[in-house]
Amino acid sequence: MNKHEIIVTATEPSDMWSNTELATFHFLNANGLYWKKMLTDDRVSEAVGEGKCNTGALFAYGSFRDDAVNKLAKIAMQKRVSRTRLGVVLDTLKKDIERAESFLNTLE
């Protein structure tokens, strides 16, 4: 699969992709976990701005909880990607997003 398809047209990851392609999808594609995390971070920031929660939410659930995002960025730039390392980062991102969404649901 070419990079354009992975970055622009793919709507979900494929089991046929290499680790590098999977990392690229999750980092650069709008359907990847990086962008889902950014959207969730924006929602947490909005909740803080609206006074629905205190600024600590940014550290616990929002944009200051960015370790997995930073690791994904580094992994996506590598030529060879470890399946284990990528899996850990993707699992962490999924859990971060789920925790933030659960928190946001309690505010509504």
Contact predicate 36/99, CB 8 Å: no
Task: Give the H or E element holding residue 67.
Answer: helix 67-76
Which residues have CB under 8 Å from 95's CB, separation 6+?
none
Contact predicate 79/62, CB 8 Å: no
Residue 53 pLDDT more than 90?
Answer: yes
- Structural domain boundaries in the chain: 3-11+19-107
Please give the average per-residue pLDDT across 47-65, as a whole number.
95
Tens of pLDDT along 12-49?
999 999 999 999 999 999 999 999 999 999 999 999 99
Task: Quote the percentage of the chain above a pLDDT of 70.
Answer: 99
Residue 38: CB atoms within 10 A of its CB come to: 13
Tell me the C-alpha distance between 57 and 32, whole Å. 23
**Alpha-carbon distances, residue 64 vs 3, 4, 7 (angstroms):** 30, 30, 26
